[in-house]
Chains A and B, each alone.
Chain A
Amino acid sequence: MSSSELQSLYQQVILDHSKRPHGRGLVGDTAASSHQVNPTCGDEITLELHVGDDGTFERVAWNGSGCAISQASASLLSGLAEDWTPAVLQERIGQFREALRSRGAIEIDEDLFEDAAALGGVSRYTARVKCAMLAWVAAEDALTRLDA
């Protein structure tokens, strides 16, 4: 029997997103893209930001390989960010990072992060924080390349 800690790390939404990810598959045709590698495990991601006419993201596309946590995190980010503006994304990346680095002290706000709040369980596993952050770091880097 796996422990309740393990089940709080791998919540069902995370397992579901890792199996059936959202936003997977690159579109191309944007300068706002970033490739990130986690050198300890070789996991990688390429993420693209596509802004629509209304100023929010029309699509956050990504491709990559990695563990269930990193794949689910990319999928969840991609779904969430499609309602956000670049400024909101920037702010959320900071909030997400702060919660994940808090060793369980700071919960992820469910009102802001919806299903991605399930990634809060990762913050107790310091070795896995990088896995959950990978897509978000790629998004942060891609933001710097977004046309003004």
Chain B
Amino acid sequence: MSGARPGGAHPPAGTLEGRTARGDPAAGRAPLMTLTPASTPVSTSDSTAAADAGDADAPAASPSAPALTAPDGASLDARPLSTAELFRLRADFPALQRQVNGHPLAYLDSGATAQRPVAVLDAERRYLETANAAVHRGAHLMAAEATELFEQARATVAAFVGAGEDEIVWTSNATEALNLVAYGISNASLGRGGAAAERLRIGDGDEIVVTEAEHHANLVPWQELCARTGATLRFIPVDDDGVLDLDRLDEIVTERTRVLAFAHVGNVTGAIAPVERLVARARQVGALVVLDACQSVPHGPVDLRALDVDFAAFSGHKMLGPTGVGVLYGKQGLLDALPPFLTGGSMITTVTLERSEYLPAPQRFEAGTQKVSQSIALAAAVDYLGEIGMDRIAAHEAALGERMAAGLAEIPGVRLLGPKPGIPRVGLASFDVHGVHSHDVGQFLDDLGIAVRVGHHCAQPLHRRLGITSSTRASGYLYTTDDDVDRMLDAVARTVAFFGGAA
């Protein structure tokens, strides 16, 4: 992770130094399964898991235990963060220090948006104080510096996800990134983009496949694309826990499928999708794979090239970075073939009154003034995460997720959504309290300083499929402690008594 830092004046990543000193050995209750390569058997035993995770001969405990990363991506013996490390790291996050309703904040809504460390806030401010200028547009010194920092940020983020610099497009957020792909295909289908875009054209008789568990951001753009082109939308179902059911995969993803879009990690279930299997099927039938990596890239090592997906999207604000910046990854050849979505300044080569020619990717997709300070701050976030180690963050989160899932599953009247305890998930768990609406659960928890998400989490179809209209979601991150989780579990148990349980 080469640290491209603004103007060399970036604060030493040193705020993190010493943090990797050996702390408590794997103290978590959960196995380190998210780190295990998909091709390596996974252990679901608990205390010995850290050792077992590296043992390629261990028996496979669950066939649905994929990894966040591709086979060669992660070290197999990452330790979760020690208590001492967590304590030091939490001091980097000013927002975590506040009190809420007279209690120390337990921030369990990082799946919606993460808090930002001082290093990220400082990087953005330093850029604005020293080098703020229009990028790719001016000839003066500050403009040149700004452009260089902006492009260095792209290289940093690219390296973080195993991509080439020209494969990373800045967008406003993941939602815009997914729309960019959908509109690019749409424009290709209208004949834009010439011969190169031919293979991206879709229409009557073609199919786009998504899953029943998608965030609206990875569903509605495809509905719209189908409506514009005459293609048909099809769905991979989920089981009663909300976990993908691939039994009929070969019937659903067929020769007619042109795009297969799915979330790497479910934002409601926390389940990790079997990317390898889905990509393999897409390759068999010649479909493009679009990965919604919003809930995976922030939480573990992800190598997009190794995963062999065609496009991927994620948002800066969910990975310690600013709001207003997101990323679209696309394989070079595909990005170069995709017609633009937003058009205007900064994405053209020659413009006449009648027509225009466009720059190659990624600039072709970056029309108008860009999110410069945000991109630079996102690179600082990536540096920060890299210093700690994504494999260790994944190990920490696997333990948190297991603690949440196991704890929730034990509370009478609580239905855990997503994978059962013992099955891999990130540090996130959603649940339904029988007879108590999620808003009331959330309000009760908020009163105790515990911040969780309530509602449908932008996944109405999944909730409908699970027979509920809303749920409560606790989502952690690298700074989340066992104590945060235990306070949440305790409060949820008391919620049932307060509201009188089932009607």
Contacts and interface: CB of A to CB of B under 8 A. Distances in A.
Interface of A: 2-3, 5-6, 9-10, 15, 18-19, 40-44, 65-69, 71, 125, 128, 131
Contacts of B499: 10, 15, 68
Contact of A67 (B101, B437, B447, B503): B437
A3 B447 contact: yes
B440 A42 contact: no
A147 B370 CA distance: 55
A43 B444 CA distance: 18
A74 to B, nearest CB: 13
A42 B444 contact: no
A71 B437 CA distance: 10
Contacts of A15: 499-500
A6 B447 CA distance: 7
A10 B447 CA distance: 12
A41 B463 CA distance: 11
A21 B444 CA distance: 21
Contacts of A2: 444, 447-448, 494, 498
Given A41-B455, A65-B469, A67-B437, A125 B443 contact: yes
24 contacts: A2-B444, A2-B447, A3-B101, A6-B444, A6-B447, A10-B499, A18-B503, A19-B500, A19-B503, A40-B455, A41-B438, A41-B454, A42-B455, A42-B456, A42-B460, A42-B463, A43-B470, A44-B469, A65-B469, A68-B437, A69-B439, A69-B440, A125-B443, A128-B439
Interface of B: 101-102, 436-440, 443-444, 447-448, 454-456, 460, 463, 469-470, 494, 498-500, 503
Contacts of A44: 469
A106 B437 CA distance: 28
A128 B101 contact: no
A110 to B, nearest CB: 24
A54 B101 CA distance: 49
Contact of A128 (B102, B443, B448, B469): B443
Contacts of B447: 2-3, 5-6
A67 B437 CA distance: 5
Contacts of A10: 440, 443, 498-499
B490 to A, nearest CB: 12
Contacts of B437: 43, 66-68, 71
Nearest to B102: A3
A7 to B, nearest CB: 9
Contacts of A68: 436-437, 440, 499
B439 to A, nearest CB: 4
A18 B499 CA distance: 10
A43 B440 CA distance: 13
Give the 3 A-B residue pairs with the shortest CB-CB distance, closest first.
Answer: A67-B437, A67-B439, A6-B447
Given A41-B438, A41-B470, A66-B439, 13 more contacts: A2-B444, A3-B101, A5-B101, A10-B443, A15-B500, A19-B500, A41-B439, A41-B456, A42-B470, A43-B437, A68-B499, A71-B437, A131-B439
B497 to A, nearest CB: 10
A42 B439 contact: no
Contacts of A41: 438-439, 454-456, 469-470
A41 B457 CA distance: 8
A40 to B, nearest CB: 6
Contacts of B448: 2
Given A41-B456, A42-B463, A67 B102 contact: no
B496 to A, nearest CB: 13
B467 to A, nearest CB: 12
A65 B448 CA distance: 26
Given A41-B470, A42-B460, A9 B443 contact: yes
A121 to B, nearest CB: 11
A125 to B, nearest CB: 7
Nearest to A3: B447
B440 A67 contact: yes
Contacts of B454: 41
A96 B358 CA distance: 57
A67 B443 CA distance: 10
A52 B39 CA distance: 71
Contacts of A66: 437, 439
Contacts of B503: 18-19
Nearest to A41: B455
A6 B500 contact: no
Contacts of B443: 6, 9-10, 125, 128
A40 B101 CA distance: 23
A42 B101 contact: no
A9 B470 CA distance: 21
Contacts of B439: 41, 43, 66-67, 69, 128, 131
Contacts of B470: 41-43
A10 B446 CA distance: 14
A20 B101 CA distance: 30
Nearest to A2: B447
Nearest to B456: A42
A69 B447 CA distance: 16
A31 B456 CA distance: 31
A15 B499 CA distance: 7
B466 to A, nearest CB: 13
Contacts of B101: 3, 5
Nearest to B101: A3
Nearest to A19: B503
Contacts of A6: 443-444, 447
Interface centre among A42, A69, A71, by most chain B C-beta atoms within 10 angstroms, is A42
